[in-house]
Amino acid sequence: MGDPKAFLNIPRQEAGYRPVSERITDYSQVEQTLNTNSRKLQASRCMDCGVPFCHWACPIGNKQPEWQDALFKGKWKEAYEVLSSTCDFPEFTGRICPALCEKSCVLKLSCDQPVTIRENEAAIVEAAFREGYIQVQHPQRNGKKVAVVGAGPAGLVVANQLNLKGYTVTLFDKDEAAGGLLRFGIPNFKLDKNVIDRRMKILAAEGIQFEMGVEIDVNHLPEGFDAYCICTGTPTARDLSIPGRELKGIHFALEMLAQQNRILEGQTFPKDKLVNAKGKKVLVIGGGDTGSDCIGTSVRQGATSVTQIEIMPKPPVGHNPSTPWPQWPVVFKTTSSHEEGCTRRWCLTSNQFLGKNGKVTGVEVEEVEWTPATDGGRPTMNLTGKKEVIEADMVLLAMGFLKPEQPKFAENVFLAGDAATGASLVVRAMAGGRKAAADIDHYLVK
């Protein structure tokens, strides 16, 4: 440790966001950065705990204390080498990971002031790109071929890991460019697509073959490969099958998010196909990160109002005694998008969509109460009979995704990411990609 007492003297300092009045006028990244000196001071706060819970909580096993110490000492290259030994793409996780590590940091558990691990991670990888520490590798080929179906976080990790081991990897994806939900689900104001393109150029230069815009039937995989990895994610969004669902103006969240990202890349859509919130009262159904992304996008598109409803109760602020560590803390969360203008409500279920002339005009909602289970299991939802109508010209469904059912595959076909586990975090998909790559390597060399 460079400064064993830094955590006593240096408070947590986050980079923060650009001013609301400025950021809602564009789709540039909302998060700011600290200067180099301040970033090193934040890294110095790491206590180098005897049992690093941050490392334990990280799905990919990042060695946070090691690279925090290197960062504090100004050894940026060493910090990146340690970081990249466990994380294939820290420029992604450093921007969008919910930082399970920080929720387990001893400084979080003791005084609610965790080390800024995620921001430090992003700073390290950006320095690595800036200083030229990231160089194109030229692996020696071993003569075996692997097909990876799906170019999201899991598929990219599988392809990267196997390519570096010498396999000839072909990456297939139904979309026109690689990235999966990183590219087509997460808004640019959280993850600029230039960050993805920068890495894809490196992967292509290292020998990964990209076959984009190709729909692969997993029941009839292309011939000529020694192994396959299915990384197709969770393509089916959870629907809300209530009366009025057929009305125009009701969309899945990704219909808006993916289209807006494509528009920013220069694509155009007919007027009758646009999913745009300009001049509309928007209702977002679903209280997770995807719902939050819909809020920020709606605000930027010019919505007159945005309301977000959630069927679950409003979480407590700061600490939730029902989710003690090491559980994920279910507490009230305000995202950058929430700050930009949104009415938030909880304990509401949707009964029916209301419309006029075939277009949605509102949603009848009903207040619910939750009764805790006596055995510690799932609580019971009870309708209260208290109904009301929320006016809406556009409804966005952001209620998660259904776990896909996979066929029985041959022994040389592997699964990774959400295709295997159901919808989860990007960092968990990346961890699954690493495991699948190791399993494929073990299978092909045995």
Q: Name the one residue in this structure whose structure tokens are 């100004």.
A: 74
Residue 155 contacts residue 173 (beta carbons within 8 Å): yes
Residue 248 DSSP code: B
Q: Is the pLDDT of residue 421 over 80?
A: yes
Mean pLDDT of 67-77: 97
pLDDT-based confidence at 3, cuts 50/70/90?
confident
Residue 308 contacts residue 291 (beta carbons within 8 Å): yes
At CA 289, angle to CA 287 and CA 292, rounded to 5?
Answer: 70
Least confident of 1-5, 47-51, 154-158, 239-243: 1-5
- CATH number attached to the domain at 248-395: 3.50.50.60
Report the DSSP beta bridge partners of residue 391. Answer: 362
Main-chain dihedrals φ then ψ at residue 342, nearest 5 degrees: -165, 140
Contacts of 295 (CB under 8 A, 6+ apart): 284, 306, 308, 335, 337, 338, 340, 342
CATH 1.10.1060.10 positions along the chain are 4-129
Report the DSSP beta bridge partners of residue 413. Answer: 228
In one-letter notation, the amino acid at residue 407 is P
Q: Is the pLDDT of residue 287 over 90?
A: yes
Which is it for strands 305-309 and 209-212: parallel, antiparallel or unpaired? unpaired
Q: Is the pLDDT of residue 1 over 90?
A: no
- CATH number attached to the domain at 4-129: 1.10.1060.10
CA pair distance 436, 149, nearest whole angstrom = 13
DSSP three-state, residue 202:
helix
Task: Please check whether the domain covering 143-233+400-443 is classified as CATH 3.50.50.60.
Answer: yes
Tens-digit pLDDT profile for residues 389-412: 999 999 999 999 999 999 999 999
pLDDT confidence of residue 2: 67
CATH 3.50.50.60 positions along the chain are 143-233+400-443, 248-395
Q: Is the pLDDT of residue 50 over 70?
A: yes
Q: Name the one residue in this structure whose structure tokens are 């977002």.
A: 284
Tens-digit pLDDT profile for residues 104-144: 999 999 999 999 999 999 999 999 999 999 999 999 999 99
CA neighbor of 190 nearest in space, from 30, 335, 342: 30
Tens-digit pLDDT profile for residues 303-323: 999 999 999 999 999 999 989
Its pTM surpasses 0.95: yes
Mean pLDDT of 78-87: 98
Q: Name the one residue in this structure whose structure tokens are 């990384």.
A: 231
Q: Is the pLDDT of residue 276 over 70?
A: yes
What's the chain's average pLDDT?
97
Asked whether the CA dihedral 197, 198, 199, 201 is positive or negative, the reply is positive
Residue 392 contacts residue 305 (beta carbons within 8 Å): no
CA pair distance 66, 84, nearest whole angstrom = 12
Contacts of 143 (CB under 8 A, 6+ apart): 168
CA pair distance 284, 344, nearest whole angstrom = 9
